Amino acid sequence: MIRNRVTELFGVDHPIVQGGMQWVGTAELVSAVANAGAIGMITALTQPTPEDLRKEIARCRDMTDKPFGVNLTVLPSIRPMPYREYAQVIADCGITMVETAGSNPQQFMSIFNDSGIKVIHKCTSVRHALKAQDVGVSVVSVDGFECAGHPGEDDVTNLVLVPAVRRALYIPIIASGGIGDGCGLAAALMLGAEGVNMGTRFMCTVEAPIHENVKQAMVDSDELQTDLILRTLRNTARVAKNSVSTEVVRILNEGGVFEDVRELVAGARGRTVYETGDVEAGIWTAGLVVGLIHDIPTCAELVSRMVAEAQELISGVSATVSVRAA
């Protein structure tokens, strides 16, 4: 067992977070992660209304008596959402931990602070991490360039970003992006993180509510099977490489604007991928870690395996590396 500030702060056994994922972070996956002793996050905006989120939280509580959280991501979208209403439902339902992403979480901090909710905020740079610490979040999740979704525009990988953020902050940090096994967990701890945040790896588990074809596509992929889309719009997103992502990249590289790709990147098409298993039906999110995914375990198997591997690796290094005094 790995004990540190993250496990103590959130009352969990393992410093592993299942990050928020649109259309994927539902009660089935979240409860399985929580029951495995890690931190599961319901994705608030997967639920069409705040009231639906309330029902999803209740449904998850029927599946687990362990703590779990909710992800609230605020990003430019075709259809703006009532974010403060979602935040208020999170507070009203007695959720104790929230993962925020996208915009500065300051607009929600009064709601969360008044309810004693601890906030993990996802950041892609040192400057954003410092700002998050200043507004009072409890933990920063550092998103390296390897991550799925939105890795920011600085293109800094976790090997550099995690220790850079660690030097700058006094609150705990967790590493996100490119992590899917015990080696990644051990490496993150050595770099100064106190846990890891995983999305893509948890998509490829038995309990993830997506079609088996999508999971198998990840198993069959290597580390080259992702695309960076929307780069010219400075809204970079890392997604699984397919005919749609390739077309989006082509259009924008040839001078296209968002209106030219709006329908190609629509979230509804990505949902169709997960529901039907047609991996060419739309854009769907995946990180570079697909190159490290070779099976489809249960969440319990994945978490226990990762922790055991990390502990073995750390112990092995301690036993074989000698430090000679100068």
Token couple for 120: 């993990």
Do 56 and 25 share a domain, yes or no?
yes
From residue 43, alpha-carbon distances to 17, 21, 27, 71, 309 in Å are: 13, 6, 9, 5, 29
Q: CB-based contacts of 128: which residues, under 8 Å, 6+ apart?
A: 152
How high is the pLDDT of residue 72? 98
- 132: domain CATH number is 3.20.20.70
For residue 290, is it within any domain? no
For residue 217, is it within any domain? no
**Considering its fold, how many domains does the chain have in total?**
2
Do 78 and 123 share a domain, yes or no?
yes
Do 269 and 186 share a domain, yes or no?
no
* Residues of the chain with confidence (pLDDT) below 70: 76-78, 322-326
Do 185 and 67 share a domain, yes or no?
yes
How high is the pLDDT of residue 76? 67
How high is the pLDDT of residue 324? 60
The pTM assigned to this predicted structure is 0.95
Do 299 and 278 share a domain, yes or no?
no
Domain span holding position 185? 5-209+295-320
Do 58 and 100 share a domain, yes or no?
yes
Do 111 and 78 share a domain, yes or no?
yes
Q: CB-based contacts of 182: which residues, under 8 Å, 6+ apart?
A: 305, 306, 307, 308, 309, 310, 311, 312, 313
Do 153 and 267 share a domain, yes or no?
no
Token couple for 286: 């995946």
How high is the pLDDT of residue 1? 82
For residue 216, is it within any domain? no
| Residues 141-172 pLDDT 10s | 999 999 999 999 999 999 999 999 999 999 99
Do 200 and 250 share a domain, yes or no?
no
What is the C-alpha separation between 42 and 56, in angstroms, rounded? Answer: 8
Do 302 and 242 share a domain, yes or no?
no
For residue 176, is it within any domain? yes
For residue 111, is it within any domain? yes
Burial pattern 75-84, b for ≥16 Cβ within 10 A else e, equals eeeeeebebe
Token couple for 242: 């397919």
Q: Nearest Cα to 229, choosing from 218, 221, 240, 220?
A: 240
Q: In terms of C-beta distances under 8 Å and separation of at least 24 residues, what long-range contacts does 176-179 make, across chains too?
A: 176/19, 176/122, 176/141, 176/142, 176/143, 176/144, 176/147, 177/143, 177/144, 177/145, 177/146, 177/147, 177/148, 177/151, 177/287, 177/288, 177/289, 178/144, 178/146, 178/147, 178/287, 178/288, 178/289, 179/289
For residue 215, is it within any domain? no
For residue 221, is it within any domain? no
Do 263 and 171 share a domain, yes or no?
no
Q: Is the dihedral of CA 142, 146, 152, 155 positive or negative?
A: positive
For residue 146, is it within any domain? yes
How high is the pLDDT of residue 79? 74
Do 33 and 112 share a domain, yes or no?
yes
